[in-house]
């Protein structure tokens, strides 16, 4: 509940930005058009279809749109708590849930109008089903549930495949260590579960294969280096990349990191055999996705902090469980370590409140809502908005009034990827010399203007690096 309130409270203070605006633009289409547009971009269609139904019910109000993601965040924490209680007991799980609920990265993407918190929920629920399926005398229905969730995850976010690989690694380790290593591999039930998941994904597989080569993925990924690996921890603890940490935050980060390492080390040293197996699952939850991205980075840079947000819950659960086991010793060192980690998380939450949905790729804080309000408040039927490019146009469409048309510049004959919903739009401008039959034009652009609009500029309003210049 606390995590939901914090996440939604922060989210309602933020302007919708491009990725969220794209979600809304796609979700407002018909189901068949949603599937078509998703196939031309880089993500699967399930979240957009869910958002289509949810938005239609609640009239596309931003509060309800963000609430959908927040509900998924809350459910993720609840399911993770149930899983950890089953694996480690109630007391230790309670500490872990507190740590998970205070993770600023989870809270940040808990309000995003994207598929990330839904992917977290699917991943945690699938993990719970897998654990239940591995218990003695477990019903086979748990493997069926797991197979369905794996397939549903692939229809939601392709990066969930990294978690399925982590599951497979853990299951293989268990199979090798148990008596089942003497069985024929084709009798392992989890292999059949993965086979079932692949069968359920087959209808979308040709589209997925086309997406891998359509060039729609924006070039924003980073290689998975030592710096970015450490950055995963800094985002989860303080919601800041390493390069942004000042001296005080750097000291706090290092202290929290050392405390977390000590906690995990203690937990592993004194854990029972069953607890060690469960700890390995949490290590795999975050470690395998990072390891896969390290290997992939030799060919292509694929790391963006939000693309790992769905497995961040595993990292925080590992830290929380280890801290809970360490605190059970009632040592002063454990209390000190817990204090440092909780302090770091609280500082991270405070930083999230002040930073909001800062875009670390574009180095700016979105404020298209404020800029759009400036334009639409006086636009009416005698004005029009001119967006510098399709990116700005899609952001504006999340807020712009239907009485204020939006034009945008692009000299591309075909708009692909995230711009594909605008492909063939009659409002596309192909010349940088803009002369439109309106009394007022509101030119919206990032950084520096590139277009020459007809009329006299009457003033510019700035919001960070987003600007609107009014022409009459």
Backbone φ/ψ region at 321: left (φ over 0), alpha (ψ -120 to 50), beta:
alpha
How far is the C-alpha of 66 from the C-alpha of 16, rounded, in Å? Answer: 10
How far is the C-alpha of 228 from the C-alpha of 424, rounded, in Å? Answer: 39
Global confidence as pTM: 0.92
Across the range 158-162, mean pLDDT stands at 95
What residue ranges in 201-338 does DSSP mark as E strands? none
For 254-264, the pLDDT digits (tens) are: 999 999 999 99
How far is the C-alpha of 119 from the C-alpha of 116, rounded, in Å? Answer: 5
For 450-461, the pLDDT digits (tens) are: 888 888 888 888
How far is the C-alpha of 53 from the C-alpha of 305, rounded, in Å? Answer: 28
User: What angle in degrees, to the nearest 10, is found between the helix axes of 2-11 and 90-101?
Assistant: 10
β-strand 406-409 against 428-429: which pairing, if any? parallel
How far is the C-alpha of 93 from the C-alpha of 275, rounded, in Å? Answer: 12
For 196-230, the pLDDT digits (tens) are: 999 999 999 999 998 888 776 666 677 778 888 88
Structure confidence at residue 350 as a pLDDT band (50, 70, 90):
very high
How far is the C-alpha of 407 from the C-alpha of 437, rounded, in Å? Answer: 12
Across the range 170-174, mean pLDDT stands at 91
Listed in sequence order, the residues at least 6 apart from 434 whose beta carbon sits closer than 8 Å to its beta carbon are 386, 407, 409, 441, 451, 452, 453, 454
Listed range (310-319, 382-391, 425-434, 456-465) with the worst mean pLDDT? 456-465
Cβ of 272: how many Cβ atoms within 10 Å? 9
Q: Is 183's pLDDT higher than 80?
A: no
Across the range 176-192, mean pLDDT stands at 74
- CA-based nearest residue to 27, from 14, 43, 9: 43
Q: Is 439's pLDDT higher than 90?
A: no
Q: Is 122's pLDDT higher than 60?
A: yes
Across the range 92-102, mean pLDDT stands at 96
Which H or E run contains 462? strand 457-463
How far is the C-alpha of 337 from the C-alpha of 95, rounded, in Å? Answer: 13
For 365-379, the pLDDT digits (tens) are: 888 888 888 777 777
CA angle 246–247–253, rounded 5-degree value: 85
**Cα Rg of the chain (Å, integer):** 24
Mean of per-residue pLDDT scores for the chain: 90
Per-residue pLDDT, 434: 85
- Count of all residues that appear for the chain in the document: 472
Q: Where are the domains of the chain?
A: 2-355, 368-471
Return the percentage of the chain with pLDDT > 70, whole number.
Answer: 97
Listed range (114-128, 134-148, 337-351) with the worst mean pLDDT? 134-148
Structure confidence at residue 180 as a pLDDT band (50, 70, 90):
low
Helices marked H in 90-160: 90-101, 104-110, 116-133, 141-154
Across the range 5-10, mean pLDDT stands at 90
């Amino acid at each position: 509940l606390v995590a939901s309130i914090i996440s939604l409270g922060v989210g309602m203070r933020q302007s919708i930005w491009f990725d969220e605006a794209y979600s809304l633009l796609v979700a407002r289409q018909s189901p068949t058009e949603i599937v078509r547009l998703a196939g031309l971009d880089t993500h699967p269609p399930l979240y957009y279809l869910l958002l289509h139904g949810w938005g239609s019910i609640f009239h596309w109000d931003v509060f309800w749109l963000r609430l959908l993601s927040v509900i998924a965040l809350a459910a993720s924490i609840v399911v993770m708590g149930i899983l950890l209680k089953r694996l480690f007991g109630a007391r230790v799980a309670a500490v872990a849930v507190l740590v998970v609920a205070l993770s600023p990265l989870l809270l940040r993407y808990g309000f995003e109008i994207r598929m990330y918190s839904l992917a977290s929920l699917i991943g945690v629920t699938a993990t719970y089903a897998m654990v239940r399926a591995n218990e003695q005398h477990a019903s086979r229905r748990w493997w069926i549930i797991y197979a369905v969730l794996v397939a549903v995850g692939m229809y939601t976010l392709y990066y969930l495949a990294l978690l399925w690989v982590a599951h497979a690694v853990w299951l293989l380790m268990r199979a090798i260590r148990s008596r089942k290593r003497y069985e024929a591999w084709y009798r392992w039930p989890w292999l059949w579960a993965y086979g079932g998941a692949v069968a359920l994904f087959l209808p979308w597989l040709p589209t997925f294969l086309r997406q891998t080569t359509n060039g729609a993925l924006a070039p924003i990924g980073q290689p998975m280096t030592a710096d970015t690996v450490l950055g995963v921890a800094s985002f989860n603890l303080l919601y800041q990349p390493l390069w942004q940490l000042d001296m005080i935050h750097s000291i706090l980060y290092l202290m929290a990191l050392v405390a977390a390492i000590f906690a995990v080390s203690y937990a592993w040293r004194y854990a029972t055999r069953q607890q060690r197996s469960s700890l390995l699952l949490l290590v795999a939850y975050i470690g395998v996705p990072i390891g896969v991205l390290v290997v992939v980075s030799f060919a292509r840079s694929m790391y963006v902090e939000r693309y790992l947000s769905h497995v961040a819950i595993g990292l925080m659960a590992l830290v929380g469980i280890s801290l809970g086991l360490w605190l059970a010793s009632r040592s002063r060192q454990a209390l000190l370590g817990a204090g440092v980690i909780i302090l770091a998380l609280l500082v991270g939450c405070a930083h999230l409140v002040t930073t909001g949905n800062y875009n670390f790729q574009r180095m700016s804080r979105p404020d298209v809502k404020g800029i759009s309000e400036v334009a639409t408040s006086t636009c009416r039927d005698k004005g029009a908005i001119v967006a510098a490019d399709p990116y700005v146009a899609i952001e504006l469409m999340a807020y712009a009034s239907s009485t204020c048309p939006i034009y945008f510049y692009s000299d591309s004959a075909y708009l692909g990827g995230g711009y594909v919903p605008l492909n063939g739009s009659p409002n596309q401008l192909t010349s940088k010399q803009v002369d439109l039959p309106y009394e007022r034009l509101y030119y919206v652009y990032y950084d520096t203007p590139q277009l020459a609009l007809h009329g006299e500029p009457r003033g510019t309003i700035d919001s960070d690096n987003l600007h609107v210049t009014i022409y009459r």
